[in-house]
Amino acid sequence: MADKLKLALYWAASCGGCEIAVLDIDEKILKVAELADIYLWPVALDFKYKDVEALADGFLDVCLFNGAIRNSEQREIAELLRRKSKVMVAFGACACYGGIPSLANQFDRDQIFGRVYFDTPSTVNPGKVLPQTSYRVPEGELHLPTFYNAVYKLDDAVKVDYYLPGCPPPPSLIWTAVEAIVSGNLPPPGSVIAEEKAVCHFCTKRKDEKTVTAFRRVHEFIPDPEKCLLEQGIICSGPVTRGGCGERCLSANMPCRGCFGPTPEAIEQGANMLGAVATMVEGKDEQALAKALETVVDPLGTFYRFTLADSFLRLRNRSLTAREAERAGAAPAPKEVAS
């Protein structure tokens, strides 16, 4: 066989679920080891930062990068791996769109600290002690890293060639991506490795073209498992979410929350979802619409469940945008970095 594929896998601000998803390809993992030389996989192999630094630029064929960018260290690694890799893949919802951790972008660090270290009911902290980035203990000085005030997606920091969505990506899709990479049979750069059509298109639940007057929450009634959830009044992001997941949540009778990100048409998943919800409402006059929308209790956390770092809202992640990154060739220093 010709040269083996040179592969790197990396995790930044991630929950570890994406790594477990890689393991869930089961025996095929041994095949990956056959087809590729893995140069970097911190969960699995001894990681020597210096070794990666010493590689020639563009030496690695592919880097699969999961997790979001939450601190400067992660950003430096993203930049390093970008330089060393011909192809950069954003792996999983966090790397693609910020994921669930980017819901934190509604709050700043002080609010988060206040809750965690002062206000939680089991915390006993009369001295109002907060973790410090540098603190003198009797024996010397201890340091903690500083965190950005916001969560960023990968392409806010570096150029991304492919997106593999999902929280986590399903093992079958991971295998599809691996095969495409190994055979060199890749779609045009910038592509999302998933379906073009929405989750709804693949969903087998029956659609009766029904409208609703109000929306209901998942715990409030037992829906008919055969019928479209949205038509039963349950908010489901299926219409605006890219397909390819195998409709996993729907198979358990639960609505889609959008972990595959927007469809090609729905560039702003949250805004498009608002539109999709509006078209469900009976009557369509303003009053009926307003009344129905009142029954959607948490539009932000529902419509942007996985994509807040990717939304036009740009709550706190204003400075580290993909556009800036492209213009400058590399991402500029984010302004919100706290001291």
Partner 1 sequence: MKRVTIDPITRLEGHGRIEIFLDDHGEVANAYFQVVELRGFEKFCEGRPAEEMPRITPRICGVCPSAHHIASTRALDDLYKVDPPPAAKKLRELFYCAHMIHSHIAHFYALAAPDFVMGPEADPAQRNILGVVAKVGLEIGGSVIRHRSYAQKIQEILGGRATHSVMGLPGGVSRRLSSDERNQIIEWAKSEVEFAKFSLKLFEDVVLGNKAYVDLILSDGYAMKTHYMGLVDEDNKVNFYDGDVRVVDTEGKELCRFPARGTAYLEHLAEHTEPWSYLKFPFLKGKGWKGFVDGQDSGIYRVAPLARLNAADGMATPAAQEAYEKYFATLGGRPVHATLANHWARLVELLYAAERLLELAEDPDITSDDIRVVPTETPVEGAAVIEAPRGTLFHHYQTDERGLIRGVNLIVATGNNHAAICMSVKKAAQAVIHKGEVRPGLLNMVEMAFRAYDPCFGCATHSLPGEMPLVANIYDHEGRLTQTLSR
- Window 9-68: residues binding partner 1 (CB under 8 A): 11-21, 23-24, 26-27, 29, 41-49, 67
User: Of the two residues 77 and 94, which places its CB atom closer to ligand SF4 in the complex?
Assistant: 94
Shortest distance (Å) from residue 45 CB to partner 1: 7
Strand-pair partners of 25 = none
Phi first, then psi: give them for residue 264, nearest 5 degrees.
-55, -35
Q: Are 178 and 61 in contact (CB under 8 A)?
A: no
Q: Which of 168, 233, 239, 334 binds ligand SF4 (CB under 6 A)?
A: 168
Closest distance to ligand SF4 from the beta carbon of 138 (Å): 38
Tokens of 117: 């270290």
Give exposure, 45-77, as e/b (b: 16+ Cβ within 10 Å).
eeeeeeebeebeeeebbbbbbbbbbbeeebbeb
Return the biggest CA–CA distance within the chain: 71
199 touches 49 (CB < 8 A)? no
Nearer to ligand SF4, 83 or 304 (CB): 304
Per-residue interface string for the shown chain with partner 1, residues 301-320, x marking contact by CB under 8 A: xx--x---------------
With tokens 């209790």, the residue in question is 297
Q: 140 is in the binding site of which of ligand SF4, partner 1, none (Cβ under 5 to 8 A by kind)?
A: partner 1
Evaluate whether 70 touches 147 at the Cβ level (below 8 Å). yes
In Å, how far from its chain's centre is CA 174? 15
Of the candidate spans 22-30, 121-129, 240-248, 317-325, the one that interacts with ligand SF4 by CB under 6 A turns out to be 240-248
Binding mask 193-212 for ligand SF4 (x = CB under 6 A): ------x-------------
Of the ranges 98-106, 185-193, 268-276, 313-321, which one interacts with partner 1 (CB under 8 A)? 98-106
- CB burial of residue 299 (10 Å; 0-12, 13-18, 19+): middle
Q: Assess 18 for contact with ligand SF4 (CB under 6 A).
A: yes
- DSSP annotation of 306 reads T
Choose one: 121-129, 193-201, 267-275, 282-290; the region binding partner 1 (CB under 8 A). 121-129
